[in-house]
């Protein structure tokens, strides 16, 4: 009897061998995927260490292979999506390229420097320079320019430069650039000669002349024999122009702040063409054109000088019949008389000029700029000091500065009370007149102030010797000393600095009237020497260096060679005494000028002092105030 077929009720089991095969297949697939991904992942063909090995071995072919392939790879990377990885690779590639170019550049510079110092290039070095010329062209040009610069600056002699030139001509890549230097030797020599002039100017610190010579060479196009010469000249000119600008713009700003628009315009004209886009320069120049006279000439004749002593600000006190009234009437003029005199000078086409504009720093006469149709005049405020006897004559016994920064005169009433006003001093009256008539002042000029130091500076004793002299004079004359006269030297010195700053801001030139108001013809050389030392010790530290001496009482010493020489050697290159007409004279180390004294007596007897050439004194004098 046959058995029936039975069905299996369990699942079919996978054999272990099959599982192993599947695992192997999966692992291989994963590996293949990773390999494929790794192959596709961007990377550089060489590393920095690959280059360093090739460089150390002197394998130039290998270096160029690395250089070219790295540059090619960098170009490829720049054209794909800029992932973090790609950005890192680009940076790494640039680092390798920069290192290769830097090393090659340094070597090319070293070879070129050696040739400039008299060395000879080996055939191997010539081949290397030519091979690497494309890679190091920028650095090689810099190195060549450095040596050309040394030659034109005078730091390389002709023999060494000729040797250097011949060595460079052995490098095929440099022949085209250097051949003009040899074939146009005459032009190179001419450039060298012209540059010597520029170098001499540079040695003297004359940047403007140096720039002018360089510009002249550049404008002569035929002299630009090859690119390194052009680069040298253009780079040097740009450097010099920038240096000159930095030097001049400080002075221009200062001159513009002082209304010295003529001086400023001369400086601006020199540089505005170099910097046409400089708005500050253009704005300054526009102001100068507006304020300066249309035509300016050079004045070669003697310059008139008019001198006054401190003005009477309080006529009632000046002419009160005391013992000081007579001298006040003889020597001094009233504030209103000064104003009228200025008006007549203005109407007669006089113009105020700087007291130093016609004499050089070393004491030589020179032509001075002056508006066409005008006559220059210098106003001198002489014998300038404050004292208690002067207060008795209605004169400001000291100066001060108000809240607007203007100098004021301070009157001392008989009661001991003080009152201040700009019109109590000639300084304020002159400044006010110029404000109403700007064309009365050329190039910001106001006047000169001859400081006397024996009682202090502008009414402020800054030392015991001045304070004692001020008090002793008052006591000797029986004048009461006011409580406001305090011996506070720190405060006084501060006040003097404040006044000087205000005077400088309005272009007042400070000068010497000697420390002790010396009658120079009647004193010894030793006395003059001591007086000069006192000025240097107690006045100059506050006023700044003084270079003009207005001889007290107008008593000059031009006839005494030893006294004149002593004063000139102390730095006073301009000296002045009284005269009845414009006069000047050139001495060995100084200029002498005459000044005309405008006084109360002069107004009454104008012909004696030859004041008629300036004024109609009858229209100036305040007869109803002056004693008869």
CA dist 241 to 71, 155, 223, 244, Å?
40, 22, 21, 5
Whether 9 shows a pLDDT value over 50: the answer reads no
- In the predicted model, is pLDDT for residue 32 greater than 50? yes
103-107, 133-137, 270-274, 578-582: range with lowest mean pLDDT: 133-137
Q: Using alpha carbons only, how large is the chain's radius of gyration in Å?
A: 43
How many residues are listed for the chain in this entry? 628
- Going by pLDDT thresholds of 50, 70 and 90, the confidence category of residue 151 is confident
pLDDT in tens, 154-189: 788 888 888 988 888 898 888 877 776 666 667 777
> Chain-centre distance of CA 368, in angstroms?
22
| Residue 134 pLDDT | 81
Between the alpha carbon of residue 179 and those of residues 134, 156, 166, 176, the distances in Å are 19, 19, 9, 6
Q: 351 near 377, Cβ under 8 Å?
A: yes
Residue 317 has pLDDT above 70, yes or no: yes
Comparison of pLDDT for 230 and 430, the residue scoring more: 430
Between 520 and 24, the more confident residue is 520
pLDDT of residue 159: 86
CA distance 315 to 332: 11
Alpha carbons within 13 A on the beta-carbon side of 176? 5
Whether residue 423 is predicted with pLDDT greater than 70 in this model: the reply is: yes
Among 311, 524, 316, CA closest to 426: 311
pLDDT-wise least confident of 250-264, 433-447, 594-608:
594-608
DSSP state of 438: G
pLDDT band, residue 5 (cuts 50/70/90):
very low
Mean confidence (pLDDT) of the chain? 89
Bigger pLDDT: 266 vs 35: 266
| Nearest residue to 99 via CA among 48, 58, 45 | 48
Q: How far apart are CA 467 and CA 60, in angstroms?
A: 88
Scan for tokens 């000729």, then name that residue: 162
3-state secondary structure of 549: strand
Is the confidence at residue 145, as pLDDT, over 80?
A: no
- The predicted structure's pLDDT at residue 171: 87
User: What average pLDDT does the segment 279-286 reach?
Assistant: 97
Predicted TM-score (pTM) of the model is 0.76
Is the pLDDT score of 224 beyond 80? no
CB 333 within 8 A of CB 598: yes
231 pLDDT above the threshold of 50:
yes
pLDDT, residue 35, reads 46
| Furthest C-alpha separation in the chain | 184
Q: Give dist(CA 505, CA 152) in Å, integer.
A: 45
The per-residue pLDDT for 225 is 55
3-state secondary structure at position 596: strand
Residue 419 has pLDDT above 70, yes or no: yes
Question: DSSP letters of 259-311?
Answer: T-HHHHHHHHHHHTTT-TT-HHHHHHHHHHHHHS-S-EEEE-SPPEEEEEPSP
Task: Give the pLDDT confidence score for residue 287 in this predicted structure.
Answer: 97
From 167-181, 448-462, 516-530, 612-626, the region with the lowest mean pLDDT: 167-181
* Helix or strand (DSSP H, E) at 548: strand 548-550
Domains of the chain with bracketed CATH: 37-183 (no CATH), 298-619 (3.20.20.370)
Q: How far apart are CA 368 and CA 299, in angstroms?
A: 5
**Better-scored residue on pLDDT, 456 or 142:** 456
| Average pLDDT estimate for 302-329 | 95
Arithmetic mean of pLDDT, 367-390:
96
Over residues 127-135, the mean pLDDT reads 86
Using CA atoms, how far apart are residues 561 and 575, in angstroms rounded to an integer? Answer: 13
Q: Please choose, from the candidates 307, 448, 294, 429, the residue with its C-alpha nearest in 3D space to the C-alpha of residue 374.
A: 294
DSSP H/E element including 175: helix 172-183
Provide the pLDDT for residue 272.
96
What's residue 259's pLDDT?
A: 95
Instruction: Out of 75-79, 229-233, 319-323, 362-366, pick the least confident.
Output: 229-233
What's the mean pLDDT in 84-111? Answer: 91
pLDDT mean over 450-461: 97
HEC string for 83-145: CHHHHHHHHHHHHHHHHHHHHHHHHHHHHHHHHHCCCCCCHHHHHHHHHHCCCCHHHHHHHHH
The alpha carbon torsion through 510, 511, 516, 520 (nearest 10 deg) reads -170
Q: Which of 188-192, 436-440, 445-449, 591-595 has the lowest mean pLDDT?
A: 188-192
pLDDT tens-digit map of 321-350: 999 999 999 999 999 999 999 999 999 999
C-beta separation of 180 from 224 below 8 A: no
Which range, of 25-34, 140-149, 335-344, averages the lowest pLDDT?
25-34
Contact 517, 454 (CB under 8 A): yes
Average pLDDT (584-593) is 94
- Please tell me the distance from the alpha carbon of residue 108 to that of residue 126, in angstroms, as a whole number: 10
Asked if the model's pLDDT at residue 8 lies above 50, the reply is no
pLDDT band for 31, please (50, 70, 90 cuts): low
């Amino acid at each position: 009897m046959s058995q029936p077929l039975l069905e299996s009720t369990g699942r079919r089991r996978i054999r272990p061998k099959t599982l192993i095969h599947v695992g192997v297949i999966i692992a291989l697939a994963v590996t293949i995927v990773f390999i494929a991904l790794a192959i596709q992942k961007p990377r550089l063909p060489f590393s920095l260490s690959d280059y360093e090995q090739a460089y150390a071995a002197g394998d130039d072919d290998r270096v160029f292979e690395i250089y070219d392939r790295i540059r090619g790879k960098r170009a490829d990377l720049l054209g794909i999506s800029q992932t973090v990885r790609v950005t890192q690779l680009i940076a790494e590639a640039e680092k390798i390229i920069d290192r290769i170019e830097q090393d090659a550049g340094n070597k090319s510079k070293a070879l070129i420097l050696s040739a400039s110092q008299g060395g000879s290039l080996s055939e191997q070095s010539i081949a290397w320079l030519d091979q690497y010329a494309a890679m190091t062209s920028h650095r090689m040009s810099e190195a060549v320019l450095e040596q050309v610069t040394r030659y034109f600056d005078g730091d390389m002699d002709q023999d060494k430069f000729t040797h250097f030139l011949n060595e460079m001509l052995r490098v095929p890549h440099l022949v085209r650039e250097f051949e003009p230097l040899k074939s146009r030797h005459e032009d190179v020599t001419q450039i060298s000669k012209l540059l010597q002039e520029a170098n001499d100017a540079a040695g003297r610190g004359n940047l403007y002349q140096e720039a002018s010579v360089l510009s002249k060479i550049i404008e002569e196009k035929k002299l630009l024999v090859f690119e390194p010469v052009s680069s040298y000249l253009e780079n040097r000119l740009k450097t010099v122009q920038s240096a000159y600008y930095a030097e001049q713009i400080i002075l221009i700003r200062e001159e513009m702040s002082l209304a010295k628009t003529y001086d400023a315009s001369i400086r601006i004209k020199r540089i505005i063409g170099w910097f046409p886009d400089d708005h500050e320069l253009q704005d300054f120049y526009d102001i100068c054109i507006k304020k300066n006279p249309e035509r300016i000439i050079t004045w070669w004749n003697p310059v008139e000088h008019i001198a006054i002593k401190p003005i009477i600000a309080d006529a009632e006190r000046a002419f009160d019949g005391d013992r000081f009234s007579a001298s006040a009437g003889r020597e001094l003029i009233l504030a209103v008389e000064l104003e009228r005199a200025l008006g007549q000078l203005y109407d007669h086409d006089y113009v105020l000029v700087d007291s130093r504009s016609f004499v050089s720093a070393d004491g030589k006469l020179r032509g001075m700029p002056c508006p066409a149709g005008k006559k220059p005049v210098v106003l001198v405020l002489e014998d300038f000091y404050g004292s208690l006897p002067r207060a008795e004559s209605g004169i400001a016994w000291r100066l001060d500065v108000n809240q607007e920064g203007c100098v004021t005169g301070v009157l001392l009433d008989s009661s001991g009370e003080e009152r201040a006003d700009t019109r109590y001093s000639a300084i304020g009256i002159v400044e006010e007149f110029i404000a109403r008539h700007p064309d009365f002042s050329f190039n910001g000029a106001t006047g000169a102030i001859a400081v006397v130091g024996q009682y202090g500076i502008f009414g402020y004793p800054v030392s015991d010797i001045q304070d004692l002299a001020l008090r002793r004079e008052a006591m000797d004359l029986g004048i009461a000393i006011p409580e406001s006269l305090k011996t506070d030297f720190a405060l006084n010195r501060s006040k003097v600095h404040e006044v000087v700053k205000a005077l400088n801001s309005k272009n007042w030139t400070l000068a010497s009237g000697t420390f002790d108001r010396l009658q120079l013809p009647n004193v010894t050389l030793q006395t003059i020497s001591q007086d000069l030392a006192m000025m240097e010790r107690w006045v100059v530290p506050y006023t700044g260096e003084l270079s003009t001496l207005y001889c007290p009482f107008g008593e000059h010493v031009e006839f005494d060679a030893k006294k004149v020489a002593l004063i000139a050697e102390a730095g006073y290159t301009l000296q002045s005494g009284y005269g009845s007409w414009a006069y000047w004279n050139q001495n060995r180390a100084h200029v002498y000028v005459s000044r005309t004294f405008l006084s109360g007596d002069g107004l009454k007897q104008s012909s004696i002092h030859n004041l008629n050439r300036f004024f109609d004194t009858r229209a100036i004098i305040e007869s109803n105030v002056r004693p008869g």
